[in-house]
Amino acid sequence: MMNRYVNARTAGVLLLSLLLLLLTGCARSPVLLESTKASLTPQTELTEVPFFAQTEYQCGPATLAMVLNHEGVEASLDELIPQVFLPGRDGSVQPEMLATVRRYERLAIPIRGTMDALLTHLEAGNPVVVMQNLALPAFPMWHYAVAIGYDLPDETLLLRSGEIERHRLSFSRFDATWARSQRWGFVVSQPGTLPEGVTARNALEAISAFEEQHGSEKTLSSWQAFSERFPQNPTGQFALGNALYADGQPEAALAAFQTATSLDPEMGAAWLNLAILQFQQARLADARASLTQAASLEGEWQPRARQLLETL
């Protein structure tokens, strides 16, 4: 009975593997934008990314060890496993992957889920942690790998994956497995730096999460980098103002809040903070005007603005 069971199970695995090969073999290669093709070098490989072979289901900790060490963090596989590996799920979930990177005082920024974005990050020297489903959507087999390079003429991607240090996969086969994770992936960077190609929304969320974990002082340089990259983003200017004020730079903070309100006149919180700084500098007419704006806008800042307005 045991032999019969093992044979049946083996046959099932072989059939599933054959089906997956057929499915991915029929997948189309992703179409790159002409602008992407023109900007990329034909081949790129980040050979300096270290390799940590995974054991059992621990591809999550292994990929984190690779990208963290690449960013100058000495993090061993043994110390990462208990932080991110969930035995009940035989793997690691995305929020824990990002949170673990932040524990080591690095930014974890999701990328845009396109092959163009992935290759652009590699071209810029940033390895990308990617999530794949190596099986069918109904029977997922989740897996993390680190993209380290590509070959445009051959349409192949290079990955550090599982126990394979240099896994070569066609664009079409990779994209088929990546698409089943909604093309999820992220890059790691030091605070104060933003990799080329990240979106304002993803960067803002990543920096905000870092700030919650490490405070304004360690996040100031990241808000400065964000505001330089996305100067027309009012939320970034508002966050920069808060970080500057916490750092004891009220004049610079006031300027940031002024920029935020000019970019988004409906941002009541920025008007309130601007008014408080103007009041502290004895600019009472300016403070009254800013409070009037804050008090006219619905939100959690409105009662505080009205209260302060009555005292002027």
Predicted confidence at residue 55, as pLDDT, reads 80
* In the predicted structure, residue 137 carries a pLDDT above the cut 80: yes
The pLDDT of 111-124, averaged and rounded, is 97
Single-letter residue type at 8: A
The pLDDT of 171-180, averaged and rounded, is 97
* In the predicted structure, residue 14 carries a pLDDT above the cut 80: no
Domains in the chain: ranges and CATH: 25-189 (3.90.70.10), 215-311 (1.25.40.10)
Name, in order, each residue with C-beta under 8 angstroms of 174's C-beta and a sequence gap of 6 or more: 132, 157, 159
Residue 247 to residues 107, 216, 240, 242, 250, Cα–Cα distance (Å): 20, 8, 10, 9, 8
| Beta bridge partners of residue 158, listed in sequence order | 149, 168
pLDDT bin (cut points 50, 70, 90) of residue 12 is very low
Predicted confidence at residue 60, as pLDDT, reads 93
Predicted confidence at residue 235, as pLDDT, reads 98
Instruction: Please state, as a whole number, how many other Cβ atoms lie within 10 Å of the Cβ of residue 119.
Output: 25
What pairing do the DSSP bridges indicate for beta strands 43-45 and 107-110? unpaired
The pLDDT of 132-151, averaged and rounded, is 93
Give the Cα separation of 185 and 76 in Å (integer).
Answer: 21
Higher per-residue confidence, 31 vs 208 = 208
Predicted confidence at residue 188, as pLDDT, reads 98
Neighbour-count burial of 52, counting CB atoms closer than 10 A to its CB (0-12 exposed, 13-18 middle, 19+ buried):
buried
* In the predicted structure, residue 3 carries a pLDDT above the cut 60: no
Give the Cα separation of 168 and 175 in Å (integer).
Answer: 13
Q: What is the pLDDT of residues 75-104, one digit of tens each?
A: 999 999 988 876 665 556 899 999 999 999
Both tokens of 89, joined, read: 């799920």
**Contact of 158 with 147, CB cutoff 8 Å:** yes
Q: What is the mean pLDDT of the chain?
A: 90
Give the Cα separation of 258 and 36 in Å (integer).
Answer: 37
Both tokens of 80, joined, read: 């990462």
Predicted confidence at residue 237, as pLDDT, reads 98
* In the predicted structure, residue 2 carries a pLDDT above the cut 50: no
pLDDT bin (cut points 50, 70, 90) of residue 154 is very high
Both tokens of 258, joined, read: 């002024």
* In the predicted structure, residue 312 carries a pLDDT above the cut 50: yes
Q: Which of 29-33, 137-141, 203-207 has the lowest mean pLDDT?
A: 29-33
Q: What is the pLDDT of residues 36-88, one digit of tens each?
A: 888 999 999 999 999 999 887 789 999 999 999 999 999 999 999 988 876 66
Predicted confidence at residue 8, as pLDDT, reads 29
Q: What pTM, to 2 d.p., does this model score?
A: 0.86
Predicted confidence at residue 1, as pLDDT, reads 34
